[in-house]
Amino acid sequence: MEKCTIKVNGQEITVPENYTVMQAANDLGIEIPRLCFLKDINETSACRLCVVDVKNMRGLKNSCTLAITDGMEVETESEEIHEAIVSNLELLASNHVFECWACERENNCEFLDLMRKFNVENSYDASSFFTKKDRQINDTSSSIVLDSGKCILCGRCVSACDKFTGLGILNFNERGNETYVGPALYHSMEDSGCIYCGKCVSVCPTAAIKEKSHVSEVLDVLRNKAKKVVVAVDPSVRVTLGEDFGTEIGENVEGKMFKSFELIGFDEVIETSFAHKLSIKEEAQELVNRVSKDTLPLYTSSAPGWFNYIEQYESEFLNSIPSTKSPQQISGVLVKHHYAEVLGYKKEEVVVVSIVPTISSKEEAERVSNQFEGIKDVDFVLTVKEYARLLKRKNIDLLKLEDAKPHGELVQLTNCSLHTTVSVLEETLKAASLLLDEVPQELDYKDTKGVKEATYKLAGKEIIVAQVHGDFTIKEFFSKMKKTKKVYHYIEYTGNSVGCTDGGGLPIRTAVEQDLVQIEKLRHDSLVSIQNEAPQATEVIETLYNTVFEQPGSQKALDMLHTSYTKRKFYT
Amino acid sequence: MIERAHVLICSGSMCVSRGAKTLHDEFEEHLTRLGIRDEIKLVNTGCVGLCEQGPFVIVYPEGVFYALVKNKDIKTICEEHLFKGRLVEKLVFDETLTENKDIIAFDEIKFYSKQTRIALRNCGLINPDDIEEYIARDGYRGLGKALLEMTPLEVIEEMLASGLRGRGGGGFPTGLKWKFAYNNKNDQKYIICNADEGDPGAFMDRALLEGDPHSVLEGLMIGGYAIGANKGFIYVRIEYPTAIEKLKTAISQAKELGLLGNNIFGSGFDFDIEIRLGAGAFVCGEETALIASIEGGRGMSRNKPPFPAAKGLWGKPTIINNVETLANIPAILFDGAEKFAKIGTERSKGTKVFSLGGNIMNAGLVEVPMGTTLREVIYEIGGGIPKNKMLKAVQTGGPSGGAIPESMMDMKIEYETLIEAGSMMGSGGMVIIDEDSCMVDICRFYLDFTVEESCGKCTPCREGTKKMLEMLEIISSGEGTLADIDRLEKLAKTVKSSSLCGLGQAAPNPILSMLEHFRPEFESHVVEKVCPGGVCKPLIHFEILDGCIGCTKCATNCPVDCISGSIKQLHSIDTSACIKCGVCKNICPVDAIITI
Amino acid sequence: MKSLDDLKKIRDAAQKKVSMRGKNDGTRILVGMATCGISAGARPVMNKFVEELSNRSLDSVTVTPVGCIGECAIEPIVEVLEGEKRTTYCRVDVRVAERIVKEHIVGGKVVQDYVIGKFRI
Burial profile B480-518: b = 16 or more Cβ within 10 angstroms, e = fewer:
beeebbebbbebbbbbbbbbbbbbbbbbbbbbbbbbebb
pLDDT at B560: 92
Query: What pLDDT, in 10s, does the model give residues A219-250?
Result: 999 999 999 999 999 999 999 999 999 999 99
Residues A226 and A351 in one domain: yes
- Domain presence at residue A528: no
CA-closest candidate to residue B200, choices B353, B13, B398, B366: B398
Q: What is the mean pLDDT of residues B168-182?
A: 95
Residues B274 and B259 in one domain: yes
Q: How far is B157 from chain A (nearest CA, A)?
A: 26
Q: What is the mean pLDDT of residues A408-435?
A: 85
Residue A96 falls in which region: left (phi positive, over 0), alpha (psi -120 to 50) or beta: beta
Selecting from B105, B133, B140 the residue whose C-beta is nearest the C-beta of C23 gives B105
Query: What pLDDT, in 10s, does the model give residues A68-81?
Result: 999 999 999 999 99
Amino acid (one-letter) located at B549:
I
Amino acid (one-letter) located at A323:
S
Amino acid (one-letter) located at B483:
A
CB contact under 8 A, A48 and B459: yes
CATH number of the CATH domain containing B501: 1.20.1440.230
Query: What pLDDT, in 10s, does the model give residues B233-268?
Result: 999 999 999 999 999 999 999 999 999 999 999 999
C57 and chain B in contact, CB less than 8 A: no
C86 and chain B in contact, CB less than 8 A: no
Residues on chain C touching B85 (C-beta within 8 angstroms): 31-34, 37, 64-67
CB contact under 8 A, C32 and B85: yes
Q: Flag the least confident range among A165-174, A294-303, B123-132, B431-440.
A: A294-303
CB contact under 8 A, B259 and C4: no
Q: What is the mean pLDDT of residues B436-459?
A: 95
- Domain presence at residue A523: no
Q: Flag the least confident range among B7-21, B304-318, B493-507.
A: B7-21
pLDDT-derived band at A301 (thresholds 50, 70, 90) equals confident
E strands along B400-549, which residues? 403-405, 429-434, 542-544
Higher pLDDT, A476 or A215: A215
- Domain presence at residue A251: yes
Chain C neighbors (3+ CB pairs < 8 Å): B
Query: What pLDDT, in 10s, does the model give residues B313-366?
Result: 999 999 999 999 999 999 999 999 999 999 999 999 999 999 999 999 999 999
Residues B294 and B149 in one domain: yes
Selecting from B305, B457, B498 the residue whose C-beta is nearest the C-beta of A44 gives B457
Cα distance between residue A353 and residue A367, in whole Å:
16
**Cβ atoms within 10 Å of B103's Cβ, excluding its own:** 15
* Count of the separate structural domains present in chain A: 4
Chains C and A touch (3+ CB pairs under 8 A): no
Cα distance between residue B237 and residue B200, in whole Å:
13
Chain B neighbors (3+ CB pairs < 8 Å): A, C
Cα distance between residue B28 and residue C105, in whole Å:
33
CB contact under 8 A, A87 and B491: yes
CATH number of the CATH domain containing B179: 3.40.50.11540
Cα distance between residue B66 and residue B87, in whole Å:
10
CB contact under 8 A, A83 and B463: no
Given A211, A233, A253, the domain boundary residue is A211
CB A177 within 8 A of CB A134: no
pLDDT at A487: 85
Residues A430 and A447 in one domain: yes
Residues A245 and A351 in one domain: yes
Q: What is the mean pLDDT of residues C78-93?
A: 89
> What is the average pLDDT score of chain B?
93
B165 three-state secondary structure: strand
Helix, strand, coil % in chain B, rounded to nearest 5: 45, 15, 40
Query: What pLDDT, in 10s, does the model give residues A352-395?
Result: 999 999 999 999 999 999 999 999 999 999 999 999 999 999 99
pLDDT at A423 over 90: no
Cα distance between residue B194 and residue B236, in whole Å:
7
CB B308 within 8 A of CB B318: yes
pLDDT-derived band at A128 (thresholds 50, 70, 90) equals confident
Q: What is the mean pLDDT of residues A11-28?
A: 95
CB contact under 8 A, B135 and C23: no
CB contact under 8 A, C18 and B87: no
CA-closest candidate to residue B531, choices B523, B539, B541: B539
Domain spans, chain C: 22-114
Given B492, B526, B560, the domain boundary residue is B526
- The CA distances from residue A455 to A32, A236, A297, A444, B211, in Å, are 52, 30, 14, 8, 70
pLDDT at A535: 53
Query: What pLDDT, in 10s, does the model give residues B544-560?
Result: 998 898 888 889 999 99
- Domain presence at residue B125: no
- Domain presence at residue A388: yes
Query: What pLDDT, in 10s, does the model give residues B272-318?
Result: 999 999 999 999 999 999 999 999 999 999 999 899 999 999 999 99
Q: What is the mean pLDDT of residues B426-451?
A: 94
Residues A69 and A130 in one domain: no
Q: How far is B286 from chain A (nearest CA, A)?
A: 15
Query: What pLDDT, in 10s, does the model give residues B65-111?
Result: 999 999 999 999 999 999 988 889 999 998 888 888 788 877 788 88
Backbone angles phi, psi at A93, to 5 degrees: -65, -30
Cα distance between residue A484 and residue B442, in whole Å:
62
pLDDT at B119: 95
Query: What pLDDT, in 10s, does the model give residues B108-139?
Result: 888 888 899 999 999 989 999 999 999 999 99
**Cβ atoms within 10 Å of A296's Cβ, excluding its own:** 17
Cα distance between residue B576 and residue B572, in whole Å:
12
pLDDT at B419 over 60: yes
Query: What pLDDT, in 10s, does the model give residues B20-45?
Result: 889 999 999 999 999 999 999 999 99
Q: Which helix (H) or strand (E) holds A76?
A: none
- The CA distances from residue B247 to B215, B284, B444, in Å, are 11, 20, 36
Residues B520 and B552 in one domain: no
CATH number of the CATH domain containing B96: 3.40.30.10
pLDDT at B54: 86
Given B393, B410, B434, the domain boundary residue is B434
Omega prior to C76 cis, within 30 of 0: yes
Residues B450 and B549 in one domain: no
Residues on chain B touching A134 (C-beta within 8 angstroms): none
Q: How far is B511 from chain C (nearest CA, A)?
A: 45
pLDDT at A497 over 60: no
Residues B191 and B336 in one domain: yes
Cα distance between residue B216 and residue B167, in whole Å:
13
User: For chain A, what's the residue count?
Assistant: 572
pLDDT-derived band at C66 (thresholds 50, 70, 90) equals confident
Cα B2 from chain centroid (whole Å): 38
Higher pLDDT, C59 or B445: B445
Cα distance between residue A453 and residue A471, in whole Å:
16
- Domain presence at residue A348: yes
Residues A141 and A264 in one domain: no
- Domain presence at residue A145: yes
Cα distance between residue B214 and residue B220, in whole Å:
10
Cα distance between residue B86 and residue A351, in whole Å:
103
Cα distance between residue B425 and residue A556, in whole Å:
81
**Cβ atoms within 10 Å of A66's Cβ, excluding its own:** 23
Backbone angles phi, psi at B205, to 5 degrees: -65, -35
Topology of C22-114 in CATH?
Glutaredoxin (3.40.30)
Cα distance between residue A172 and residue A161, in whole Å:
12
What residues of chain C, 14 to 33, have a C-beta less than 8 Å from chain B? 14-15, 17-24, 28, 31-33
Residues A64 and A190 in one domain: no
Residues of chain A with pLDDT > 90, as a percent, come to: 73
* Count of the separate structural domains present in chain B: 5
Residues B334 and B421 in one domain: no
CATH number of the CATH domain containing A140: 3.30.70.20
pLDDT-derived band at A422 (thresholds 50, 70, 90) equals low
Residues B419 and B474 in one domain: no
CB contact under 8 A, B494 and A124: no
Q: Note down the domain range covering A32.
A: 3-77
Residues A201 and A223 in one domain: no
Residues A439 and A477 in one domain: yes
A27 and chain B in contact, CB less than 8 A: no
Q: How far is A12 from chain B (nearest CA, A)?
A: 23
B77 and chain C in contact, CB less than 8 A: no
The DSSP annotation for A144-176 comes to EEEEGGG-----HHHHHHHHHHS----EEES-G
> What is the average pLDDT score of chain A?
91
pTM: 0.91
- Domain presence at residue A511: no
Residues B152 and B282 in one domain: yes
CB B228 within 8 A of CB B152: yes
pLDDT at C118: 64
Sequence-distant (6+) residues with CB within 8 A of A126 are: none
Q: Flag the least confident range among A191-200, A490-499, B218-227, B579-588.
A: A490-499
B589 and chain C in contact, CB less than 8 A: no
CB contact under 8 A, B83 and C65: yes
Best mutation site among B300, B494, B499, B503 for testing chain A: the one with the most A CBs within 10 Å? B494
Cα distance between residue A549 and residue A560, in whole Å:
9
Residues A481 and A380 in one domain: no
CB contact under 8 A, A45 and B451: no
Residues on chain A touching B292 (C-beta within 8 angstroms): none
Residue of C nearest to B268 (CA): C2
Cα distance between residue A360 and residue C77, in whole Å:
98
Q: How far is A88 from chain B (nearest CA, A)?
A: 6
Residues A299 and A151 in one domain: no
Residue A482 falls in which region: left (phi positive, over 0), alpha (psi -120 to 50) or beta: alpha
CATH number of the CATH domain containing A73: 3.10.20.740
Q: What is the mean pLDDT of residues A319-333?
A: 94
CATH number of the CATH domain containing A439: 3.40.950.10
CB contact under 8 A, B62 and C64: yes
Q: What is the mean pLDDT of residues A331-343?
A: 94
Tell me the sheet residues that pair with B235.
Answer: B194, B276
Q: Note down the domain range covering B57.
A: 5-113
pLDDT at B171: 93
Q: How many helices (H) and strands (E) does chain C have?
A: 4, 4
Residues B73 and B190 in one domain: no
Given A180, A195, A211, the domain boundary residue is A211
pLDDT at A496 over 70: no
Given B434, B450, B471, the domain boundary residue is B434
CB A60 within 8 A of CB A84: yes
How many Cβ contacts (< 8 angstroms) between chains A and B?
Answer: 112
Q: Which helix (H) or strand (E) holds A110?
A: helix A110-117
Residues B371 and B496 in one domain: no
